[in-house]
Structures are given as C-alpha cells and as structure tokens.
Homo-oligomer: A and B are copies of this chain.
C-alpha cells in the first residue's frame, strides 16, 4: 500500500492529467551518459517501493511528442537540446495498469497506456539529475548494474541498448556521448560497450582513421602513467555526411 500522503498526491495528479494530457499514451526515456569508461543510464528510485523506473511522462493535448520528451528530460536533467530518438512503442496489455491496483478505476495511471520509448544521448557533465515527486532519488547507474525495474522498464532499456548497437553506423552516437575531445581508446571503449564485445585495437584504429571523420588535435591527453595519447574531435561536416548513407563496414 502506498503511504496516504503519496496516495493523495497521485490522485490529485491524476485529476490534473485528465485535463492536460492525451490519455493512453505515455513516454519513457532511456537516457545514456558516458563517464569514466562506463556507459550509464539515468534512473529514478520509486517512493515506497524497492524498484526503479525510467524518467517518463505524458504528452500535452496540443504538444508535439518530441517537445514532450524534451520537456520531461529537461525537468530531470536540467539539460536543454538533448539528442533524442524515438525507437519503439511498448504496448503489452497490463504493462502498467496493474501497478496501480489499489486505486479507483478512474485513476489516470490505471488506464491502458502504450508507451513511446525514446533514447537520449547526453554529455554526462551537462546533467544534474533532479528527482520527481514520486521518487526518492534520480541517479546515474552503470548499465552492468541495473537494479530491479518497475513495469516493463527493463525491457524498454534492453531494447534501447540494442537500438544503439544497430544505429552505431547511422547516428552520431559517439559525438553525443563523448566529451568534445577524446582519445582513440575512449572511443573504442564506448564502441565495445555498445556492441557488447571486444574489438581489435589496430583494426579499430584503421577503420576509424579510414572513415576520415576525425580531426587529430595538436594537444594530447596529459597525466597518465604511459605515453600521452592523442586527442581527437569529430569533424562535424564529414561525420554528418558519412552518417547520411551509413558506414559501410560492420564491427
């Protein structure tokens, strides 16, 4: 059972939602960030329950769905102009309705919802996670240590990751997740995590240089024990042009 004060909050929220949003359609966002050589996802810990959820919300009656997703993410992350892509609709019967069994049938959340999944790629350092009224905390979690998730949110996350894998050759995934300047090992690590496999260092280097989408910088990364590795930036024009047709080689 929910705490009475949370219950009142949810019921009040439901009344407002019927007036403002389009029923039966929700939005769930899988927000990826890359930090310290690991890929992370932004999760909320639900109040009164030992489960976590993806940041999400609803679409205003006169709101474009991408605007709605941007608004939701701005509230959770503070970041504007987040790179967003819808990737799938999640429609199972009873995917969400059962989560609110103890409430009246007129409750907004108890209706059947189909959810439009978005993935978002953010620059980790731009984000300040902000909790929402139904959650205890909002934080980055390593994709290898994802806790128990509410409803079908685990399946939504899994599908988002598979989508990144398939779209590596078509979307500016590296550019959106890495810092402005990065080393070749950092880029390789990101690719390895998304692809879920180790890549040969020499082959990776040759392919990346062969694509002619990187500008080598005059500076190198300082501070390591070993030889300072070179820094690179994506060349925006060449990267965009190359993505347009997709890279011709697999990994």
> Which of A's residues lie within 8 Å of B, judged by CB?
22-25, 59, 61-65, 86, 88-89, 91-93, 112, 114, 116, 166, 169-170, 246-251
Contacts and interface: CB of A to CB of B under 8 A. Distances in A.
Q: How many copies does the complex hold?
A: 2
Q: Which A-B residue pairs are the 8 nearest by beta carbons?
A: A248-B250, A65-B91, A89-B116, A22-B24, A24-B24, A89-B89, A86-B89, A24-B25
A62 B24 contact: no
B249 A248 contact: yes
A25 B114 contact: yes
Contact of A91 (B64, B166, B170): B64
A62 to B, nearest CB: 6
A248 B248 CA distance: 9
A90 to B, nearest CB: 9
Contacts of A89: 65, 86, 89, 116
Contacts of A23: 23-24
Contacts of A86: 88-89
B64 A93 contact: yes
A242 to B, nearest CB: 12
Contacts of A250: 169, 246-250
A143 B64 CA distance: 30
Contacts of A91: 59, 64-65, 116
A116 B251 CA distance: 31
Nearest to A197: B245
A59 B114 CA distance: 11
A65 B114 contact: yes
Nearest to A66: B91
In this complex, the member of A23, A91, A112, A170 whose beta carbon has the largest number of chain B beta carbons within 10 angstroms is: A91
Contact of A92 (B59, B64, B166, B251): B64
Contacts of A247: 250
25 contacts: A22-B24, A22-B112, A22-B114, A23-B24, A24-B24, A24-B25, A59-B91, A61-B112, A64-B91, A64-B92, A64-B93, A65-B89, A65-B91, A65-B114, A86-B88, A89-B89, A89-B116, A91-B116, A114-B116, A166-B166, A166-B170, A246-B250, A248-B249, A248-B251, A249-B249
